[in-house]
Amino acid sequence: MSDARPLIGITTQTLQAIDDIPADLPLSWVMNQRYAHAVVAAGGVPVLVPLLDDDEILRAIFDRVDGLLLPGGVDLDPATYRAARQPKLGRVDPARDATELRLTRRALAEGKPLLGLCRGLQVISVACGGTLWQDLATDRPDSAKHDYLPNEGWPRDHLAHQVTVRRGTRLAHALGAETIAVNSMHHQGVNELGRGLVASAVAQDGLIEGVETDSAGFAVGVQWHPEVFTGGASAVGRLFDDFVAEARIRARR
């Protein structure tokens, strides 16, 4: 039992929220394979979580997994943080918002290992009462460029900028560095940080790039995409190892 691989729940996304899909295609849930491969490489067993509006079923899934991974994806609906939609808001997925916020709050309340990536960091902050910049270029014009997007020709492993990691944080322990180069594929960001969270990493323009709880346990979010860097290609990939190791400890209990 001590060598059992921990189960890692990975939330999904509504296919129709990503792109224009033929109207006759049934609603579908999907997720980028890189997240599952990264979990496997770190020693975990990935389990895809459907976006069900059924608390009993979601509770049963949550109870069975040893850790929860919130991947990247489309924008959060501003209604989740009590704001009106701005013109540069991208596509949203209300079913995903509802599922992830419900599971995130549960993980935080019960101390289940939690890792949020890009959108996932934003979900963690919003779940704790935080707000977002809906479009950095518009709402925070002094920001550096953060939207190095693949659909605009940028490779996913492009190390776009440096972040400074706060000494003594869980993130600093996982990365083993206080300054690190990261990839960057987002146009939104944390405005007001949620309650009970600390900013564990910031970009050179001051934008929050890492968050974690100010209490014990593993609840970490980063604004970049470490799933691209498995196999030792970059120190940012080590975050999966730390996360899955915490989930394994949880499984043994």
pLDDT at 232: 55
pLDDT at 136: 97
Model pTM score: 0.96
Which of 209, 212, 227, 246 is the catalytic position?
Answer: 227
**Average pLDDT of the residues in 73-92:** 97
**What is the CATH number that goes with domain 7-252?**
3.40.50.880
**pLDDT tens digits for range 130-149:** 999 999 999 999 999 999 99
Q: Provide the 10 A C-beta neighbour count for residue 141.
A: 7
**pLDDT tens digits for range 84-121:** 999 999 999 999 999 999 999 999 999 999 999 999 99
Which of 118, 186, 187, 246 is the catalytic position?
Answer: 118
What gap in Å lies between CA 169 and CA 172, rounded to an integer?
Answer: 5
Name the residue type at position 166.
Answer: R
pLDDT at 157: 92
**DSSP bridge partners of 165:** 201
Question: Taking 70 as the threshold, does the pLDDT of residue 2 lie above it?
Answer: no
187 in catalytic set: no
227 in catalytic set: yes
- Please say whether the beta carbons of 183 and 157 come within 8 A: yes
**pLDDT tens digits for range 192-215:** 999 999 999 999 999 999 999 988
Beta strands 161-165 and 197-203, pairing class: antiparallel
- More confidently predicted of 233 and 222: 222
The three state secondary structure string of 207-247 is CEEEEEECCCCCEEEECCCHHHCCCCCCHHHHHHHHHHHHH
Domain borders along the chain are: 7-252
Going by pLDDT thresholds of 50, 70 and 90, the confidence category of residue 23 is confident
Going by pLDDT thresholds of 50, 70 and 90, the confidence category of residue 183 is very high
**Average pLDDT of the residues in 183-192:** 97
Residue percentage of the chain with pLDDT more than 90: 87
- Please say whether the beta carbons of 86 and 134 come within 8 A: yes
**pLDDT tens digits for range 151-169:** 999 999 999 999 999 999 9
Task: Considering only CA atoms, give the Rg of the chain.
Answer: 17
Going by pLDDT thresholds of 50, 70 and 90, the confidence category of residue 21 is confident
pLDDT at 235: 67
**Average pLDDT of the residues in 232-238:** 66
Which of 100, 186, 225, 246 is the catalytic position?
Answer: 225
Question: Taking 80 as the threshold, does the pLDDT of residue 222 lie above it?
Answer: yes
**Average pLDDT of the residues in 57-67:** 98
Joined together, the tokens standing for residue 66 give 């040893």
**Average pLDDT of the residues in 240-245:** 94
Going by pLDDT thresholds of 50, 70 and 90, the confidence category of residue 234 is low
pLDDT at 240: 94
